[in-house]
């Protein structure tokens, strides 16, 4: 596992690699039809947060995620404190802009389709793409529409920001491109894969059912990704999101 992570280290974010590489094959384009540009006024920022906003914008400019703008569009920003009460999160209020954006026809997955076949699955995993939207390039007209204003100037996004109405559909296209070619195995092949996993972990599964008493042993075996991660108190529900290691490996019993 360590060798695999090391080989693919360029796709993980960390020290010295704080922004995602640009995705290939998909760009964010925004269609507002014949709508006239709307330039809203900048909103004030609390004095004690002003320097943090400046440092954040400076960092985004240095990383090439956004640039200075002369767009006729301008949306205001909203600053929110993170849970730690120290760091900030900057949102762009695109509510006015979103009323003009035409949704693309790209389909989002249906929950019913995703749930098909779960009754035969033993393992579930969720992956969180760090700053995934920022991996998607903007077209020139999308850059203009994404423009925002704040006390420090007028800027526009080079990579796709959060808050635009069409952004989830664009991101779904990226995910589907990445997973293209990965299909569900027939039940008999899935059973062979499940058995290979159990053999590798040196666990037994009598009568094809994973025993509850083996769950603690399995979680003890999985020690990867445990940097600064509290020990989970229980295994969460299959369809609900659970904290910490349950997001990496989830045993269904």
* pLDDT given for residue 248 in this prediction: 35
Cβ(164)–Cβ(147) under 8 Å?
no
Could you tell me which residues are beta bridge partners of residue 250? 124
* pLDDT given for residue 133 in this prediction: 84
Could you tell me which residues are beta bridge partners of residue 153? 150
pTM equals 0.66
Cβ(122)–Cβ(51) under 8 Å?
no
Quote the DSSP letter at residue 106.
Answer: P
Sort 23 into a burial class: Cβ within 10 Å, 0-12 / 13-18 / 19+: buried
* pLDDT given for residue 87 in this prediction: 86
pLDDT mean by block of 10 residues, the chain; 253 residues: 79 62 84 95 92 92 93 95 85 94 87 72 74 87 96 95 90 84 67 66 57 53 49 45 37 36
- Tell me the HSE value of 63 on the side-chain side, using a 13 A CA sphere: 20
* pLDDT given for residue 236 in this prediction: 46
Domains of the chain with bracketed CATH: 2-108+130-179 (3.10.10.10), 187-251 (no CATH)
* pLDDT given for residue 249 in this prediction: 37
């Amino acid at each position: 596992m360590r060798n695999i992570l090391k080989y693919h280290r360029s796709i993980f974010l960390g020290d010295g690699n704080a922004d995602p590489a640009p995705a290939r094959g998909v760009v964010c384009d925004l269609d507002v039809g014949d709508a006239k540009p709307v330039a809203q006024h900048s909103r004030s920022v609390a004095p004690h947060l002003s320097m943090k906003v400046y440092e954040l914008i400076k960092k985004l400019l240095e990383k090439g995620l956004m640039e200075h703008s002369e767009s006729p569009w301008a949306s205001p920003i909203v600053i929110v404190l993170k849970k730690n009460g120290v760091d900030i999160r900057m949102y762009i209020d695109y509510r006015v802009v979103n009323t003009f954006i035409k949704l693309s026809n790209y389909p989002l997955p249906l929950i019913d389709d995703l749930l098909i076949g779960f009754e035969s699955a033993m393992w579930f995993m969720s992956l969180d793409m760090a700053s995934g939207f920022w991996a998607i390039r903007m077209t020139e007209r999308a850059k203009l529409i994404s423009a925002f204003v704040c006390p420090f100037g007028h800027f526009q996004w080079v990579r796709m920001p959060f808050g635009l109405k069409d952004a989830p559909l664009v991101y779904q296209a990226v995910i589907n491109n990445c997973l293209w070619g990965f299909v569900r195995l027939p039940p008999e092949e899935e059973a062979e894969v499940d058995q290979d996993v159990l053999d590798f972990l040196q666990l037994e599964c009598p009568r094809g059912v994973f025993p509850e008493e083996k769950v603690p042993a399995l979680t003890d075996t999985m020690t990867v990704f445990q940097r600064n991660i509290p020990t989970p108190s229980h295994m969460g529900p299959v369809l609900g999101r659970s904290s910490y290691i349950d997001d990496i490996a989830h045993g269904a019993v």
